[in-house]
């Protein structure tokens, strides 16, 4: 009688049902780990760059601004606190040359800018670290490509009473004045609306949305690029200068002609 060996198990050639899931999990872990490593490296580089900028801004502030605003920017008798004003206020005040002030007066005047844009950004970064405040907006909000007609209406309603409907500026009380708005850098127009420097009110996003601010900037750019269609603008000071012109030259001319005709007849 022959002895038969037990039959060896047959291989089906099929993987275990959990093998696919295991491979998928391993792939996801590997991909996630690589992404996390890359993200951590990029974040560390960005943080280091920001820290370096803030440090440089602190040095510039201490050398040029602390004598009035305090070494911690908490204000002195000579200058207000800057805690919470944000980088946008720094960009406006320093970027237009208003700060540092040359001398005390009713308001800071526009002067040649004393710092590079990189230095201004560094000081803004340092001030922004002190407390939350208005930041530099996205470029699309001051691109000047908005609705000119809507911007003109918004300007007449909110700005013309001080800056004149043509943006020529005007006198205020106690030696103060609303500056002319011709050929102003759009970011500084936006910064003025948001931060409210000097006597200007603050226009928050509840008053004027960022898109509406861009419309106002678009209107100001339009009047920069289009000369007066009515002839001599007479300083764009409105009916006062126009009426004075009529009285002096119009009536004066009539009187001169009348005198000439009378003298000729005699």
- Nearest-angstrom CA–CA distance, 218 and 144: 4
Rg (CA), the chain: 34
Contacts of 86 (CB under 8 A, 6+ apart): 124, 127, 128, 132, 133, 134, 135, 195
Residue 188 assigned ligand-binding role: no
Q: Which residue has the tokens 């490296």?
A: 41
Q: State whether residue 178 is helix, strand or coil.
A: strand
Residue 69 assigned ligand-binding role: yes
Residue 16 assigned ligand-binding role: no
Nearest to 60 by CA among 117, 108, 136, 126: 126
- Nearest-angstrom CA–CA distance, 82 and 61: 11
Residue 68 assigned ligand-binding role: yes
Q: Give the phi and the psi of residue 220 in degrees, each rounded to 5.
A: -65, -40
Residues marked as binding?
65, 68-69, 159, 162-163
Question: Annotated binding site for heme c, which residues?
Answer: 65, 68-69, 159, 162-163
């Amino acid at each position: 009688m022959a002895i038969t060996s037990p039959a060896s198990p047959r291989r089906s050639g099929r993987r275990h049902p959990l093998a696919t899931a295991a491979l998928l999990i391993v792939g996801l872990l590997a991909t996630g780990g690589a992404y996390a490593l890359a993200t951590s490296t990029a974040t560390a580089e960005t943080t280091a760059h920001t820290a370096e900028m803030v440090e440089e801004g602190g040095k510039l502030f201490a050398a040029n601004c602390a004598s009035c605003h305090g070494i911690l920017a908490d204000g002195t008798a000579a200058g207000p606190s800057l805690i919470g004003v944000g980088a946008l206020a720094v960009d406006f005040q320093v970027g237009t040359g208003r700060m540092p002030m040359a001398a005390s007066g009713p308001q800071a005047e526009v002067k040649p800018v004393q710092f590079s844009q990189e230095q201004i950004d560094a000081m803004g970064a340092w001030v922004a670290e002190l407390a939350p405040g208005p930041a530099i907006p996205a470029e699309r909000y001051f691109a000047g490509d908005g609705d000119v007609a809507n911007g003109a209406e918004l300007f007449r309603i909110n700005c013309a009473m001080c800056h004149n409907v043509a943006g020529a500026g005007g006198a205020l009380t106690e030696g103060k004045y609303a500056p002319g708005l011709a050929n102003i850098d759009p970011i500084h127009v936006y910064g003025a609306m948001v931060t409210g420097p000097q006597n200007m009110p603050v226009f928050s996003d509840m008053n004027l949305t960022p898109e509406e601010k861009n419309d106002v900037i678009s209107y100001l750019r339009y009047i920069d690029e289009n000369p007066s269609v009515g002839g001599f603008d007479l300083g764009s000071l409105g009916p006062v200068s126009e009426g004075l012109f009529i009285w002096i030259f119009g009536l004066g001319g009539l009187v001169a002609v009348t005198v000439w005709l009378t003298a000729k007849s005699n």
